[in-house]
Amino acid sequence: METITTDDEREFIRASQIRGRFQRRSSIPVEVFGPSEEEEAAVVWTIYPKSEEQIKKLKEACKDLLPFRGLEDDLLLQIFSAMFEKKVLPQECVVQQGEDGDHFFVIEHGVFDIMMGQNNQQNRIGQYKNSGTFGELALMYSYPRPATIIAVTEGSLWGLDRKTFRTITVTFQLEKKKRLQMFIASVPFFKSLEATESAQILDVVEEKTYEPGACIFLKGEIADKFYIVESGEVKIVAEKPGSKEVGIVRHHKEEYFGESALINNNPRTVSAYAEGEVKCIVMDVQALERLLGPCMDILKRDMSNFEELIELLGPIIDTTV
Ligand SMILES: Nc1ncnc2c1ncn2[C@@H]1O[C@@H]2COP(=O)(O)O[C@H]2[C@H]1O
């Protein structure tokens, strides 16, 4: 079955095959870091602008779908931006059982039958009514379509091809890695590291975004992570005897917190919360120790008590708490 029907879409496929790059007519090209030196010259794909309402609907439709589960908002938005609109007519076969497929679709509107069967004998096994997604299996695996999807009414779909999906995911990860590397290189704590060491650090860090008010860690929890603020503000709070939780210190960009995890595995003595949206670099301390073994030993030896550590690492935590 031919799932790509318009000239525009055929051209898209043709163009995407040219030296593995992605370009399409009437496009707003996006340049990102590429996966190799060649890609330094720019990998390009096309953005199809969408309204906030459409993005909201796409998010809702895709939130539990396997290829999208757990993806960060930034990446999801990039992927949604690459989805092109495909209008369909009643009786149009969008996906044909048994054929190869490399497109995934989100229903904007329209009614679609899900058909399955053998030897021209197709039975309706379900129906999508103005919402839903299909074709995701093609994004994940390379086996023939297990079902046929036919439009019952005229409708509109958002389509995404596997190559673009993969290009965005790979290039986004590389872009993120480069950004993180630059950030890490600028953080005083890591200034003394050799370039190769700071590159290795990337393997043991992850970037995490916290919603306003979110708890980053709680008093009493095992201290196994070390944090650097990438953006936003973090409030450290403690309980003083006879009173409620009180804020004792705030951390901003490039500042550290959770450093007690570097010294011992004792439970946290304070809690940390995001003030507004916060992005942090989170490091697994055991992994960091393995990587920076000698560094960490020196750090620990030189810091025989908490105050010394605080002095060295910068931001002050109220040690009277
Ligand atoms: N019962 C079903 N079995 C297999 N695919 C289904 C079923 N119901 C809906 N589908 C969708 O039909 C699509 C056919 O193309 P895909 O294999 O890429 O992905 C499939 C699913 O998204």
Q: Note the pLDDT of residue 187.
A: 77
Prediction pTM value = 0.60
Domain boundaries, the chain: 9-167, 186-313
- The residue-averaged pLDDT of 189-213 equals 77
237-246: pLDDT as tens digits: 987 656 666 7
For the record, the structure tokens of 206 come out as 């992850």
Cα separation, 84 vs 52, in Å, equals 16
Top-confidence range, 2-6, 138-142, 219-223 = 219-223
- The residue-averaged pLDDT of 313-318 equals 41
The percentage of residues in the chain with a pLDDT greater than 70, rounded to a whole number, is 70
Residue to mutate, 134, 150, 165, ligand 1, most ligand atoms under 8 Å from C-beta? 134
Band of residue 292 on the pLDDT scale cut at 50, 70, 90: low
Can you tell me which atom of ligand 1 is nearest the CA of 137? Answer: 18
Q: Known binding site: residues?
A: 136, 145, 259, 268
Pocket of ligand 1 (CB under 6 A): 95, 101, 114, 125-126, 134-138, 145-147, 149
Residue 260's nearest CA partner among 287, 222, 290, 294 is 222
Asked whether the beta carbons of 202 and 175 are under 8 A apart, the reply is no
CATH number of 186-313: 2.60.120.10
CA of 116 to the centre of ligand 1 (A): 9
In CATH, 9-167 is 2.160.20.80: no
83-128: pLDDT as tens digits: 999 999 999 999 999 999 889 999 999 999 999 998 778 999 999 9
Least confident residue range of 2-11, 43-52, 135-144, 222-231: 2-11
Can you tell me which atom of ligand 1 is nearest the CA of 145? Answer: 17
Q: Known binding site for 3',5'-cyclic AMP: residues?
A: 136, 145, 259, 268
Query: Which residue is it, tokens 């992570």?
Result: 225
Q: Note the pLDDT of residue 299.
A: 53
Residue 172's nearest CA partner among 18, 24, 35, 27 is 35
CA of 145 to the centre of ligand 1 (A): 7
Q: Note the pLDDT of residue 264.
A: 67
Asked whether the beta carbons of 33 and 40 are under 8 A apart, the reply is yes
- pLDDT beyond 70 at 302: no
- The count of other CB atoms within 10 Å of the CB of residue 134 is 22
- The residue-averaged pLDDT of 180-208 equals 75
Can you tell me which atom of ligand 1 is nearest the CA of 139? Answer: 18
What stretches of the chain show up as alpha helix (H) in DSSP?
7-17, 52-62, 73-81, 136-140, 162-186, 195-201, 260-263, 285-291, 293-302, 306-313
Cα separation, 260 vs 223, in Å, equals 7
The per-residue DSSP string of 72-121 comes to -HHHHHHHHHTPEEEEE-TT-EEE-TTS---EEEEEEE-EEEEEEEETTE
CA of 141 to the centre of ligand 1 (A): 12
140-171: pLDDT as tens digits: 888 899 999 999 999 999 999 988 888 888 88
Mean pLDDT of the chain: 77
C-alpha to C-alpha distances, 269 to 216, 217, 242, 255, 297, nearest whole angstrom: 13, 10, 16, 19, 23
Stated length of the chain: 321
Query: Which residue is it, tokens 């009180």?
Result: 246
Asked whether the beta carbons of 247 and 255 are under 8 A apart, the reply is no
Residue 22's nearest CA partner among 4, 45, 48 is 45
Cα separation, 162 vs 158, in Å, equals 13
Question: Can you list the pairs that 305-311 forms with residues at least 24 positions away whose Cβ atoms lie under 8 Å?
Answer: 306/260, 306/263, 309/259, 309/262, 309/263, 310/259
Least confident residue range of 141-150, 249-258, 305-314: 305-314
- The count of other CB atoms within 10 Å of the CB of residue 247 is 12
Query: Which residue is it, tokens 């059982």?
Result: 97
Can you tell me which atom of ligand 1 is nearest the CA of 144? Answer: 17
Q: What is the dihedral of CA 291, 294, 296, 300, to 10 degrees?
A: 160
Q: Note the pLDDT of residue 290.
A: 74
What is the predicted ipTM? 0.90
Cα separation, 78 vs 71, in Å, equals 11
